[in-house]
Amino acid sequence: MTGPPTAPTRRPASSARTDFAVGVGAMSAVTVAYLPFGLLVGAAVASSADPVAAWAATWVIYGGAAHLAVLEVLAQGSGWAAAAAVGLLVNVRLAAYSTAMAPRWRDASARAKLLAAVMLTDAPWALANARPVATRGYYLGAASTLFVAWPVIVTLGAASGGLVSALAALALVPVLTLGAVVVPQLRQRPVAWGVAAAAISAAATARLDAGASLLLCAAAGLGAALYAERRS
Amino acid sequence: MNVVLAVAVVGTGSLLLRALPLLLSRRLPDRLSLLASWVGASMLAGFTVRALARFHDPAVPASAALAAVAATLSFGLAYAGRPVVVSVGAGIAAYLVLASAAALLV
Q: Tens-of-pLDDT digits for all 232 residues of chain A?
A: 444 444 554 566 668 788 999 999 999 988 887 888 888 889 889 888 899 999 999 999 998 888 988 888 888 777 888 889 888 888 888 998 999 999 999 999 999 999 999 999 989 998 898 887 768 999 999 999 999 999 999 999 888 866 666 677 777 887 888 788 788 888 889 999 999 999 999 999 988 887 788 889 999 999 999 999 998 8
pLDDT at residue A13, as a whole number: 63
- Residues from chain B that touch A201, judged by Cβ atoms under 8 A, are 46
Q: Count contacts between A and B (CB, < 8 Å).
A: 312
User: Structure pTM?
Assistant: 0.79
pLDDT attached to residue A145: 96
- The residues, ordered by sequence, that sit 6+ positions from A93 with a Cβ below 8 Å of its Cβ are A122, A214, A218, B39, B40, B43, B44, B47
User: Which residues 119-138 in chain A show a CB within 8 A of chain B?
Assistant: 120, 122, 125-126, 129
Does residue B98 carry a pLDDT above 90?
yes
What kind and span of H or E run contains A138?
Answer: helix A136-160
Q: Please report the pLDDT score of residue A14 as a whole number.
A: 65
- How far apart CA A6 and CA B18 sit, in angstroms, is 20
Output the CA–CA distances (angstroms, integers) from residue A11 to A4, A112, A204, in the order listed. Answer: 20, 15, 46
Interface test with B, best of A175, A189, A215 (most B CBs within 10 A): A175
Closest C-alpha to B18, from B7, B27, B10: B10
B9: how many CB neighbours lie within 10 A of its CB?
A: 19
* pLDDT computed for residue B49 by the predictor: 92
Kindly state the helix (H) or strand (E) to which residue A120 belongs, with its residue range: none
Tell me, what's the pLDDT at B8?
95
| Neighbouring residues of A179: CB distance < 8 A, sequence distance ≥ 6 | B45, B48, B71, B74, B75, B78
- Closest Cα of chain B to A83: distance in Å? 6
Pick from A114, A173, A195: which is nearest to B45 by CB? Answer: A195
Number of continuous H segments (helices) and E segments (strands) in chain B: 4, 0
Report CB contact under 8 Å: B22, A102.
yes
> Tell me, what's the ipTM?
0.85
SS3 call for B68: helix
The answer to whether the CB of A80 falls within 8 A of the CB of A50 is: no
A206 → closest Cβ in B4, B53, B85: B53
Q: What is the pLDDT of residues B25-80, one digit of tens each?
A: 888 888 998 898 899 889 889 888 988 998 888 888 889 999 999 999 999 999 99
Per-residue pLDDT averaged across B6-21, rounded? 94
Q: Are B51 and A175 in contact (CB under 8 A)?
A: yes
